[in-house]
């Protein structure tokens, strides 16, 4: 679903990256920057964003003894997305409010298709169905070696969620999936070196959104 198809003109920007890549910090910093400039916008995340989607988030991310099969995981993410897009993202865009989203369809491609090994064409179809065809105008990919991401997550001193507990090999596969997306869609996906100091990373974010949207 393009802008022309949805009728919205507000920017839809997604933030992607492996665990510990700093994308959540950067989305908060960009939000503060936009607020200071008087740019109407909404910050949200996946899975989540609406009460029902937040309940699904708890289901899919909480560590549990029962095996969560890749197919189950995929469908839970897509269900949360379907509710999120129709209940929050699209109404915001149609009202003229920009949307900054922490993860979107690219995360499902990287995690469930590339790292979990599910059929990529099936994941792509389900992504399109759940999102109603909505595609971000810009995706910022915060690229970081998984070893450094692991160290950052450990340094937080909080309980890891189910995905954060996955192996280093799994997260290497996620990173590879993201990098392949960047190569495949260079007009939409912009790679940012997340290993750089936080201020440098934010400078890259500001330059990118300024060039794209004039922010």
Question: Rounded to the nearest 5°, which phi and psi values hold at 144?
Answer: -150, 140
The pLDDT value recorded for residue 1 is: 44
Is the Cα torsion angle 194, 190, 32, 45 positive or negative in sign? negative
Start-to-end CA distance of the chain, whole Å, equals: 24
Total domains in the fold of the chain: 1
The per-residue pLDDT string of the chain (215 residues; one tens digit each, 9 = 90 and over) reads: 444 445 667 999 999 999 899 999 999 999 999 999 999 999 999 999 999 999 999 999 988 889 999 999 999 999 999 999 999 999 999 999 999 999 999 999 999 999 999 999 999 999 999 999 999 999 999 999 999 988 888 777 777 788 888 888 999 999 999 999 999 999 999 999 999 999 999 999 999 999 999 99
What is the four-CA torsion angle of 188, 192, 194, 196, rounded to 10 degrees? Answer: -170
Range of the domain at 113: 3-213
Peptide bond into 47 cis (omega under 30): yes
Distance CA 184, CA 189 (A): 9
Q: Considering only CA atoms, which of 29, 42, 61, 67 is closest in space to residue 201? A: 29
The pLDDT of residue 11 is 97
Q: In angstroms, rounded to a whole number, what is the distance separating the alpha carbons of residues 153 and 105? A: 23
CATH number at residue 47: 3.40.50.300
């Amino acid at each position: 679903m393009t802008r022309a198809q949805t009728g919205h003109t507000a920017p839809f920007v997604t933030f992607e990256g492996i665990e510990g890549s700093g994308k959540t910090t950067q989305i908060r910093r960009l939000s503060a920057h936009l607020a200071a400039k008087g740019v109407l916008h909404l910050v949200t995340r996946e899975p989540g964003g609406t009460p029902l989607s937040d309940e699904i988030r708890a289901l899919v991310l909480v560590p549990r003894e029962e095996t969560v099969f890749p197919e189950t995981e995929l469908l839970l993410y897509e269900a949360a997305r379907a509710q999120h897009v129709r209940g929050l993202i699209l109404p915001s865009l149609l009202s003229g409010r920009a949307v900054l989203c922490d993860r979107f369809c690219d995360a499902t491609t990287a995690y469930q298709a590339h790292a979990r090994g599910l059929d990529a064409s099936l994941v792509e179809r389900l992504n399109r169905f759940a999102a109603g065809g909505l595609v971000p105008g810009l995706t910022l990919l915060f690229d970081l070696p998984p070893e450094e991401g692991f160290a950052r997550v450990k340094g937080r001193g909080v309980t890891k969620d189910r995905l954060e507990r996955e192996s280093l090999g799994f997260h290497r596969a996620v990173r590879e999936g993201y990098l392949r997306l960047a190569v495949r869609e260079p007009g939409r996906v912009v790679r940012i070196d997340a290993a750089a100091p936080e201020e440098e990373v934010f400078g890259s974010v500001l330059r990118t959104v300024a060039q794209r949207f004039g922010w």
